[in-house]
Amino acid sequence: MPDLPSTDAAADAGPAAPSPDPRFAALPGRPGKVLAVHLSYASRADQRGRRPAHPSYFLKPSSSVAATGGTVERPAGTELLAFEGEVALVIGTLARRLGAELAWEHVAWVTAANDLGLYDLRAADKGSNVRSKGGDGFTPVGPALLDARTLDPAALRVRAWVNGRTVQDDTTAGLIFPLAQIVADLSQHLTLEPGDVILTGTPAGSSVVVPGDVVEVEVDAPSAPGAPSTGRLVTTVTQGDVPFDGALGSLPAVDDTQRTEAWGSREAAGLGAPGLSPGLRDKLLRTPVAGLSAQLRKLGLNNVTVDGVRPLHPDAKVVGVARTLRFVPNREDLFKAHGGGYNAQKRTFDAVGEGEVIVIEARGDAGSGTLGDILALRAHAAGAAGIVTDGGVRDVDAVSAVGIPVWTSGAHPAVLGRKHVPWEGDVTVACGGTTVQPGDVVVGDADGVIVVPPALAEQVADAALAQEDEDAWIAEQVAAGHPVKGLFPMNAQWRARYEAR
């Protein structure tokens, strides 16, 4: 298909006339396509703990569009309907294979949008968002269109209110991907047609709303002459009474991950702070890895040690929850595409939270570094509990001097690209021959590193501490001259003496 010519969008489009269909009253007509960006604001990315290297998109049906002053139904049997205040772009002229420098010319109008979504249905669609984002009324737009020719795309503001309380307030200066880049990138893959709507992502502050809540969204340009504004886009949440039919498709389902993402944080979702409770952390700090290994073995878990790694500080102890990073074997073309810039390795170290342990899968290949002193400093400054890698560490003296506990298979002076491509984070990995999932409990000492399933952590910590107390008493008896026969392990007579202390 030949490239389409560039034209002045607003001049060609002219003023927008109201659509006869009340759902599209704020638009020139029913849009052919509604396209949406998954994650685009730095504030939202920081909240989610992951920052994409490139924009990604999903489609919403035009039947989801609604006008201001309407209602949106939270379907029966669901709990996680979330709002997202966004800047919406309305295309004025055909756009195909644009450069970023021409893209804004094809945007005719700017307005406000509320990209509503039902997290209860996200798992079934695996990112396509067809059901979770496509419901009737899930895309309120309006109430007024602003002439894009008069606006600086980097100086737009989006705000949202729930029941009169400000919950979102950010500007397009905080976008990871500028608006022109989003338009140009989409035009590489499909033709943008007059009337198409692009939802450009939401900043931090999106959360769950319940029946009776009133959500308002406004987009304005405070620094432009006259400070033009769309006015407030108002939507009221109602409760539906028709449940989904499980005989036809998947039913709504939620877990703590979906609750956390829908509400914006574990605390807002009523799940408490992430990580380990202070009491459990204290127990694990007092429990040797060997003791945990013995208790897990009693429960049938033998493959829970990260083999082949040693601490840079022999007296170091680490206790935390896993944040994972996976490297794949180096292939020059893949490293060129994934190894530079803000890659998965850097994103993981930037996103690590307090009390987390970065666990790196490097296939046991210590032929290059998997981190150096700068990344160790970043993890330490973020409050990370430690780092475990079954690959190498470069700048090992400098990394040791940082002070953060690090377990590694060895030192190596080569940079990452000699052996590895940073591929992805927050996924299940294999480190030192052991499967590690995000959120697993990681404990390390001079004996090595062990991975404890979170549901078992309290149980095995209590059992291991009880065993430590018993072993200490046995050691006292052996030091006093008693033979180990009948004492280690204790027979009935010795057990009675122990319990009668």
For 46, the enclosing helix (H) or strand (E) is helix 42-48
Rounded CA-CA distance 115/135 in Å is: 11
Rounded CA-CA distance 387/380 in Å is: 10
Classify 365 as helix, strand or coil. coil
CA dihedral (231, 236, 242, 248) in degrees, to 10, reads 40
Q: Which fold has domain 27-241?
A: Fumarylacetoacetate hydrolase; domain 2 (3.90.850)
**Per-residue pLDDT tens digits of the chain, which is 501 residues long:** 234 334 444 445 455 555 578 899 999 999 999 999 999 999 998 877 778 889 999 999 999 999 999 999 999 999 999 999 999 999 999 999 999 999 999 999 999 999 999 999 988 777 789 999 999 999 999 999 999 999 999 999 999 999 999 999 999 999 999 999 999 999 999 999 999 999 999 999 999 999 999 999 999 999 999 999 999 999 999 999 998 888 888 888 887 778 888 888 777 887 654 568 888 999 999 999 999 999 999 999 999 999 999 999 988 999 999 999 999 999 999 998 888 888 999 989 988 888 999 999 999 999 999 999 999 999 999 899 999 999 999 999 999 999 999 999 999 999 988 999 999 998 899 999 999 999 899 999 999 999 999 989 999 999 999 888 888 888 889 998 999 998 888 888 888 888 888
DSSP string, 126-155: TT--HHHH-STT-EEB-S--EEGGG--TTS
Amino acid at 460: V
Q: In the chain, where does the domain assigned CATH 3.90.850.10 lie?
A: 27-241
Name the nearest CA neighbour of 258 among 72, 125, 393: 125
Please state the length of the chain: 501
Angle at CA 172, nearest 5°, toward 167 and 178? 140
Looking at residue 4, its pLDDT comes to: 36
Classify 254 as helix, strand or coil. coil
Please check whether residue 75 is in contact with residue 214, taking contact to mean a CB–CB distance below 8 angstroms. Answer: no
Q: In the chain, where does the domain assigned CATH 3.50.30.40 lie?
A: 278-457
Rounded CA-CA distance 478/43 in Å is: 60
For 157, the enclosing helix (H) or strand (E) is strand 157-162
Kindly report the pTM of this predicted structure: 0.61
What is the CATH number that goes with domain 278-457?
3.50.30.40
Q: Which tokens hold the place of 278?
A: 């202070």
Rounded CA-CA distance 89/209 in Å is: 25
DSSP string, 455-495: GGHHHHHHHHHHHHHHHHHHHHHHHTT--STTBTTB-HHHH
Rounded CA-CA distance 51/297 in Å is: 39
Q: Which tokens hold the place of 367?
A: 């032929």
- Determine the distance from the C-alpha atom of residue 126 to the mean position of all C-alpha atoms in its chain, rounded to a whole number: 14
Farthest-apart Cα atoms in the chain, separation? 99
